[in-house]
Structure 1
Amino acid sequence: MDFGRAFGFVFQDKDWLRKIIIPALVSLIPIIGQFVVLGWGLNVTRRVMAHDPEPLPDLDFGGDLARGFQAFVIGLVYALPIVLLSMFLGILGPLLGVDSYDVSEVAKAVYMLISVCTGLFSVVYGVILAVVLPAAYANFLAKGSLGAGLNFGEVFRLVRAAPGAYLLVLVGSFIVGLIAPLGVILCFVGVLATYVYGMAVMGHLYGQAYNQALENLGISATA
C-alpha cells in the first residue's frame, strides 16, 4: 500500500477543487446528502480497485445516492450488536428504576456493571468494525451486490489476507479525523471541504487495501 498517495492523489487531479466543492455543497442536503457523499467516496474506492489512473470522480447524484444508501445498510447490519446493546440499556434503565429516588443500591450497581461492560464491548467492537467494514464495502463494490457486502466469510477472508493493510486503513481514519476539524480555519465551507476530502482519502485507502488482499490471495483484480 502507498499510504501517502491516499492523502495526495486528490491534488493531482486538475479539476480537484470542483470535484471536492460540489460534493461538499451536496452534503448540506439533510440525510440524502450524507448518502450521496458516502457513495461518492466509495466511487473513489471502486476506481482504485479498477486501477483507474484518475480515481477522483465527478459527482453522480443518482448513482452515488444508490451506492451510499446500500453502504449505509451494510454498515447498519455490521453495527447491529452495538445498536441492540444501546437499545437494551435504554430499556433496562427504566425497568430497574435507576432514575427514581427510591432505587436500590443493588439495582444501581447492576446497571452500572452492565453499562461498563457494554461500553467496553462497544469500544472493542468499534475498532473491529473500523477494520472489517472497509472490506465489506469493497466486496460489495467488487461484486455489485448488497449481499456480497454481507457475506461475512468473504469479508473476513479479505481482512485475514491483508491485516496490515486494513490496520493502515484504521490509522488513516484516525488521521482523517484529525484533519477534518482544520476546516474551521477556512470557516463553514472549509469544514465541508475537509470532510469531503477525508471521504476521498478513506475511499482510496479502502481500494488499496482490497487490492492488497487480492494480491496476497493470488487473485487478479478486475476492472
Structure 2
Amino acid sequence: MDFVRAIKFPFEDREWPVKLVIGSLLSWVPFVSTGYQISVARNVMQQKENPLPGTEDLGKVITDGVMGTIAWIIYLIPLWPFIFVSMCISGADNDGGFATCVSCCVTILAFAYAIPASMLYVMGLYRYINTGNFSSFIQIGSLWRDVTANMNALVTLVVYLVAVSILAAVAGTALVITCVGPLVVAFLAQVAIGHLIGQAASSIKQAA
C-alpha cells in the first residue's frame, strides 16, 4: 500500500478545486462522507485514473454512504450495552470517580473492538463493491474467515488508517482558526482512507 499516494491523489485531479469544495460542503452530512470513502475505494479497485468522485457521481455517493453507515452501525451493536451502562453510571455517580473508571474501561474496550470491526467492515466493503448487495456486509462468519485469510494486509491497513486519523486530528486542530479548515481536512482524510481501503482490496483481490 502506498500511503503517500493516498494522501496526495486528490490534487492530481484537474478538477480537484471544485471536487474538494463540493465534497467538503456535503461532508456536513455524515453518511455522505462515508459515501465518498466507498466511492474512492471502488474507483481505486477499478483502476480509474481519477478516483475522486465528481458531481455526476453524487447519487451513487449518497447510496454508498447510506449502505456503509448502516453496516457500521450494525457492526457496533455489541458495544451498545456497554455504552448504555456507562451513561447510566455517569448519571448516577455524583462523585464521578467510579463513573470515570467505567468510562475509561468502556473507551479501551471500544478501541479494542474497533480493530476487528474495521477489518470486518473492509471485507464487507470489498464484497459490497463487487456485488452491489448490502447483504455482503452482514455475512459475518464468512467475512471473518476472509479477515483471517488476509490478516497481514488488513493489519497494515489499520496502521495506515490510524496514521491518517492522527494526521487529520493534528491538521484540523492547527486549522481550526480558519473555520472551514477542519471540514476540508476531514473530507481529505475520508477520501485518503477510501484510497487505502481500495489499495488493500486490490491486493486482496490479486491474492485470491
Q: Distance in 2 between matches of 1:44 and 1:100?
A: 47
Gap runs ≥5 in structure 1: 102-107, 218-223
Q: Does the 8 Å contact 1:89/1:115 carry over to 2?
A: yes
Q: 2:200 aligns with which of 209, 212, 219?
A: 209
C-alpha distance 216-20 of structure 1, shift in aligned 2 (>3 A): same
Q: Does the 8 Å contact 1:45/1:204 carry over to 2?
A: yes
1:162-200 residue CA offsets vs partner (Å, 9 max, x unmatched)? 222222221222222222241443712221111111111
Q: Does the 8 Å contact 1:158/1:213 carry over to 2?
A: no
CA apart distance, 1:89? 3.8
Residue in 2 aligned with 1:165? Answer: 153
CA apart distance, 1:215? 1.8
Number of matched residues? 203
The normalised TM-score by structure 1 is: 0.78
Structure 1 residue 15 and structure 2 residue 28: aligned? no
Structure 1 window deviating more from structure 2 (73-82 vs 61-70): it is 61-70
Q: Distance in 1 between matches of 2:205 and 2:145?
A: 10
How big is the alpha-carbon RMSD for the aligned residues of Structure 1 and Structure 2? 2.7
Give the share of equivalent positions with the same residue, in percent.
26
Q: 1:50 aligns with which of 43, 46, 50?
A: 46
Residue in 2 aligned with 1:67? Answer: 64
C-alpha distance 168-16 of structure 1, shift in aligned 2 (>3 A): farther
1:51-79 residue CA offsets vs partner (Å, 9 max, x unmatched)? 22221111433322221111111001111
Residue in 2 aligned with 1:221? Answer: none
C-alpha distance 79-122 of structure 1, shift in aligned 2 (>3 A): same
The normalised TM-score by structure 2 is: 0.83
Q: Any residues of structure 2 matched to 1:27-176 within 5 Å, and which?
A: 27-28=27-28, 33-59=29-55, 60-91=57-88, 93=89, 98-99=92-93, 118-176=106-164
Choose between structure 1 and 2 for higher RCO, CA contacts under 8 A separated by at least 6 residues. Answer: 2
Gap runs ≥5 in structure 2: none
CA apart distance, 1:127? 2.2
Q: Distance in 1 between matches of 2:33 and 2:92?
A: 41
Q: Distance in 2 between matches of 1:130 and 1:100?
A: 35
CA apart distance, 1:25? 1.1
C-alpha distance 146-100 of structure 1, shift in aligned 2 (>3 A): same
Q: Distance in 2 between matches of 1:172 and 1:126?
A: 14
Q: Distance in 2 between matches of 1:216 and 1:62?
A: 32
Residue in 2 aligned with 1:4? Answer: 4
Q: Please give the secondary structure, in 1, of the residue aligned with 2:188.
A: helix
